[in-house]
Structures are given as structure tokens and as C-alpha cells.
Structure 1
């Protein structure tokens, strides 16, 4: 996932909020389409029916890893009244009573759903396939994720072939095969961006259904052309209502740099539990030499959650700096429409906009969990199912937990987007505010 941009760490996959699907991102430039995996065609056998011992062993394995690494156990208590750890035997009994593999899968999904976190779930076949494509075309910083996805039992469960070795780069630095992602460059508009002149010469609207990396290459020129067209307008409405995430580089490397005239700094933090399972993932992303949690008290963070100093061992401070890149010269007022479905990378944009005053937020409280890197993956040893989970607690600049507090709008209004654009309460509110 990239949830939030973090000082040189690129996150490429985001899980959507509960009820929405995860979004696969554009692989790094210079990787090859030849590495794209494909479903197995009869050469992988689905696992045999699981025994009760195997089901319980899978449950115990997942439980141990989450108990030591999952970031939001106390947040879940406060928000949902759910003491997940205290319910272990109840959950384990549910798995023990699963007579079939299908009931086992349903039971495991229920157990994870009790954490009430959109990044924490058993991967569906569709999401697994997207992750294989993305991580299979990434660099060494994604190897721990790929290793999980390519365990023999996992490949058999999801009926996929292992990916081929990456092609050797030529002397020019590019692959000898066609670079991945070039198929996204053509084919016309993606349909991901909505452009509307609400009031000619005064108010423009730009809506984003997703921040999926697969849209970035096609959407960038569309966004630039429209922003250039309306650069002298007084009001720009950016709409991320219903946007469950994607790649934070969508907004951090495309949208914002076009609209700013000077560098903008945004400070966030990530806290880590210190579980052994997370170590390889963190090392691959350069998360080493972290600050001990005791030093967090030296930061001015008045709203730290109480468990920060007792359940976490280390932290990172991200001083993210976004600089202008061929700015269009827009000097008007920017409004950002948000709702409770704004999550993950889209949530990261809301955090950025609120923290830096890049835009005035209009709508309702967002969905949260927008700071950090990709959720970790774990493979259940007997069934081969893969689970993802959030392992870092993202904090905004005042120390509040983004997953818990979400992002409050500057102006609260009904976010309903079902009506024609000029009749939507949020748009009408922006027009009212812009007219003052």
C-alpha cells in the first residue's frame, strides 16, 4: 500500500477501506512485462481438505504474528469496544467448529473483521492476482512481500504460477523487454478523472475516483491540461469522496506539485511494535536505525495515544517535502471534498491538505489509516491463504493516531454525491464559501 508518502519510501499497493477492493499500482518504470505472472493452468493442485489440527495451527500462527505486530489493538478497544486479544478462545472455538474448508475461511475472515481495519483481511483471489503483478515487477524493496506470495502452498491455494526471473537491465539501464506500464500510456482517457467547469471563469471541479497507480500515466496529462485551462480561476474543487486509496505518488508527485508555487513540508510519524516478523519487511524498506520510543517524548505531540509508550518500541519521523514541478500557476482557493470512504492513500492526501493548509476540507470525517507503508503479508502454513495487516501506527503532527481520529473537515456538510454536481450539498457549500 503506500498509504502516505514517507521520505523516500515508495508504497505501491493500497488496500481499500472495508467493503471496497484493494487497488494494484503501476510497477516501477524499467521493469518488464515479461515478469508479469499468470494463473496456473492445471499445474498446481489445490490443497487437500484441511484437518482440524491444520485449521487450528493456521489460526494460532496468524494470532501470534498479529499479537506481536498489529498496530491498532488498543484503538479497536476505544473505537469499537472490541478487546480482540481477550476473545482468543471464542475465536479459536469458532475455527474448531468449522466443518468445511469454506467455513474455516469464513471463520478466519470473521476473526480479522473484528479488528475493524480495512487493511487487515484474507486476500481474495482478485487481490492476490493484483499483488502478484505489482510486487512481481518491483525491486528488492518488495522482496519480502513477494516471498510470501510465492510460497508453494500459497501458489497452490490461489492457483498461480511463480513469476519468471526479472530480465537483466541493458547498459542503458532499461530492460531488454518492453517496460511495464507502457500499455497504460495509450488507449485514451482512463475514466478515473472527472473535469467540470462549474462556473465559467470562476470555479472548476476535478474529481478522482481512485489514486490507483495504474491510472497515473494516463491521468497526469489530463490533469495538467485541465489545470492549465483553469489556472486563472478563483476556486478549484478537488473531490476524493469515495476514494479508497491507491498510490500516494498520484497526489504527491502529480496533483500537488502542479498546484504549489513553493515547497510544502508535512510532518508525520510511524510507530512500530518491534515484532520479529516485521523485521525483514522493514529492512527491505530501509526502516533501520529507528529512534527508540522513549525519544518520542522529545517531540511536541500533545495527543499521543496512551499505548504509544508501552506497546511500541521504535518510531520514524517523516519530514515530507513536496516541491513544485512545472506548476500551472494557480493562485486561487482550493477545496477538498471528503467523506467516510476516504482511506489509505486518499486519507494521506486529506492529512497532507489539512496539516499544510493546502486546501480547505469540506464534508465529514474521513476513513483513516493513511500514514505508513504497505500492510505486511503473512501466509497461513497449511491452508495457503494470505492475510494482510497494518503493522505501523501513523500519527499526524499533533501526535493523534490517524486510524483512530481520521481527518476532520474544516467545514462539515452532507457529503452525498448522488445528485447532479451543482445540487450536491458539499459543492453548494463550496460555492457559498467561495462567494464570501
Structure 2
């Protein structure tokens, strides 16, 4: 088992030990007030970005409690309670925070809805043509200009080493490689790291991770370094470009963070959506589950990446290119690779 996988398991065990001791502490009953207090307390003691978000946009979790407590009544319906509690957790501005009930699951969407999409699958099909290959969740093609193009829509599925070897072997004579992770909302963190391991020849520091050690907003373990070990399979030895947009989130955010630390890799497109906290789940008295960010991940310089990672080259899809069936971001990546091949 890899050191990074061991670290993830170790942190999950610690989180469970720390959190299980304080879930629902001093909160009893199944009234609207009890469920409100339980949810607020879980976030207060276990969510990992309260201090950071106070710095960034002035989030005051105590003030949130005062404001939302006024909206809780003993006679309110269960559905109205769900609406109010969903609004409360959305104050965290975190796509990893979801309250789930029989009515549905809350979702904070502004991390991508408030920005240009910067991706079109119909325009992407103009580049893929009809003879593209799909393997292990990856779609790839050698473009007409001899640039290799790989699209990864999700890290939820595993990627086979043999599939990666064959794909990179097929592209070994290309003038450069594009890895497109736009609209990739995340998935398995180890899958993302596995793909990143194909772009380095040496052990590479890509970031740090810590975990909550107590209920205080500032109670964290010392950050543990996170490394990417080079793959034993075929590794890409030329320039590569990663394409990103605001819907590049969660483990995709982590993938882009890792790729920024790799030699010969450039990030082109829009800022990522963020989502750097490893999620953990708990439950309030009425049985609704709450998922929240519990363990923060930083970049190699110990900077927060919760609100996204800036590209090396910022590019938006232009309306003119869109009407011509062209992808401005792919075109920019191709020109970059041709110029710097």
C-alpha cells in the first residue's frame, strides 16, 4: 500500500475517533431546535475551514447561529426545516457540504454557476472525430496537428496501468499532450494521483494535509507532506498541458494542484472550482446526514486551495470561436505546445 493511501486511512480513523466523541454532545431530542443545534454544532466543531473563510469573506459561524436560530420554530414542518438548514450550510460556500434528507440533498452551486462554463461537449466532438478511443474512463485521440488529446470526465472509475501504458505509447510521437479535466467534478483521490504519477520521474512534493484534533476552530495536527511517486509504467517525457474550468472540482482540484508541481506541465483555462477539504459524514437526531469538509489539503507552498487554483495561462472560450465550432482553450493549448515542443 502506498504511503499516501496509508495517510488517508490514518486520517479517516483519527477523524472518526475525534468526531464520534462529540457528535450530538449536549444535544438531545428530535425537535426542530434540537436538529438545528446539532447541525450547527457539528459544523462548529468539525468543519475545517471556519477560520479560513472568516479571513476570506468574513464568515462568522456564531453570527450564523444567531441569525438562523430566529427562523426555527417548534411548529415548522420537516420540509421547512430542511430548507432553512440547507440555507445555513450554504453559508459555508462549499460544494463538499451537503445535507441529505428524504426531500433531497442540499447543494451549493455558486462555485461554478457564477462563472463562464468554458466547455462544450458538442464543440469537443469536432476535435475527437469519430475514431476516438475510450478506455478506463479516459477518451483520447491524436488531433490533426499531431497533438495528443486525453479527456478525463471523472475520477470515480479506476484507471488501469495497462490502459495508461498503451495510451501513452500510442502518443509517444506526438508533439505534445493535452489532458482535459474540464467539467470533471472529482471522484477517487488515488485515481487522480495515479494519473499524475505518469508526469514525473522523481518523487515530488505536491502539498500538505492536516486533520482536526479537537473542537476548536484552530485545532489541527501538524501538516503532513504529500508526495507523488513516479509510476513504474510509461511516463510522459515531453511538454503537457492540463485544461481546467470552474467545474474542475474536489479530487480534480487536487489533480491540478499535483500537476502544477510537475516538470513540463502547464495549466491553461479558467481557475478551478476548488474543494480541497476531504469530506466526512455525520448525522443529526432526525436521521438526516451531513457531509462536510473535515481535513484541509494545501499546495506545496502551504497555500489554501479550497477556493480554487489559478491557471498558468488564463483563457476563456470566446463567443466568436464558439460560433465557428472552435474551442478557444484547446486552440490555445495546441499553439502553446507547438511553440514550446
Query: For residues 255 and 173 of structure 2, what CA distance do their matches in structure 1 show?
Result: 24
* Native 8 Å contact 1:241 1:415 kept in 2: no
Query: For residues 155 and 261 of structure 2, what CA distance do their matches in structure 1 show?
Result: 20
Query: For residues 236 and 110 of structure 1, what CA distance do their matches in structure 2 show?
Result: 42
Q: 1:334 to 1:189 in 2, by over 3 A?
A: closer
SS of 2:89 mapped into structure 1:
helix
How many residues were matched structurally?
A: 291
Query: For residues 247 and 9 of structure 1, what CA distance do their matches in structure 2 show?
Result: 15
Q: 1:433 to 1:399 in 2, by over 3 A?
A: same
Shift of 1:91: 1.0
Specify the alignment match of 2:258 in structure 1.
352
SS of 1:243 mapped into structure 2:
coil
User: 1:8 and 2:6 equivalent?
Assistant: yes
- Mapping 1:181-260, distance limit 5 Å: 192-199=137-144, 202-212=146-156, 215-216=157-158, 221-253=162-194, 255-260=195-200
Shift of 1:361: 0.2
User: 1:387 and 2:327 equivalent?
Assistant: no
- Residues 131-168 of structure 1, C-alpha deviations (whole Å, 9 max, x = no match): xxxxxxxxxxxxxxxxxxxxxxxxxxxxxxxxxxxxxx
Shift of 1:432: 1.6
Query: For residues 268 and 302 of structure 2, what CA distance do their matches in structure 1 show?
Result: 23
Q: 1:415 to 1:252 in 2, by over 3 A?
A: farther
SS of 1:427 mapped into structure 2:
helix
TM-score, structure 2 as length reference: 0.75
User: 1:396 and 2:295 equivalent?
Assistant: no
Structure 2 unaligned runs (5+)?
Answer: 10-28, 106-132
Q: 1:220 to 1:313 in 2, by over 3 A?
A: closer
Shift of 1:204: 0.9
Shift of 1:358: 5.4
Query: For residues 77 and 135 of structure 2, what CA distance do their matches in structure 1 show?
Result: 42
RMSD between aligned residues: 3.3
Query: For residues 344 and 421 of structure 1, what CA distance do their matches in structure 2 show?
Result: 32
Specify the alignment match of 2:312 in structure 1.
410
Structure number with greater CO (CA < 8 Å, separation at least 6) is 1
Q: 1:87 to 1:97 in 2, by over 3 A?
A: farther
- Residues 347-398 of structure 1, C-alpha deviations (whole Å, 9 max, x = no match): 111111112335200012112233x54x2211111x1000011122222122
Shift of 1:196: 2.1
Q: 1:124 to 1:344 in 2, by over 3 A?
A: farther
Query: For residues 326 and 47 of structure 2, what CA distance do their matches in structure 1 show?
Result: 43
Q: 1:323 to 1:205 in 2, by over 3 A?
A: same
Shift of 1:342: 1.2
Query: For residues 320 and 100 of structure 1, what CA distance do their matches in structure 2 show?
Result: 49
TM-score, structure 1 as length reference: 0.59
- Residues 375-427 of structure 1, C-alpha deviations (whole Å, 9 max, x = no match): 2211111x1000011122222122211114x2111111015799599811111
Structure 1 unaligned runs (5+)?
Answer: 12-51, 129-187, 278-309
Query: For residues 195 and 416 of structure 1, what CA distance do their matches in structure 2 show?
Result: 24
Query: For residues 98 and 394 of structure 1, what CA distance do their matches in structure 2 show?
Result: 41
SS of 1:318 mapped into structure 2:
strand
Q: 1:85 to 1:273 in 2, by over 3 A?
A: farther
Query: For residues 204 and 420 of structure 1, what CA distance do their matches in structure 2 show?
Result: 24
Q: 1:241 to 1:334 in 2, by over 3 A?
A: same
User: 1:320 and 2:227 equivalent?
Assistant: yes
Shift of 1:74: 3.0
Query: For residues 419 and 108 of structure 1, what CA distance do their matches in structure 2 show?
Result: 40
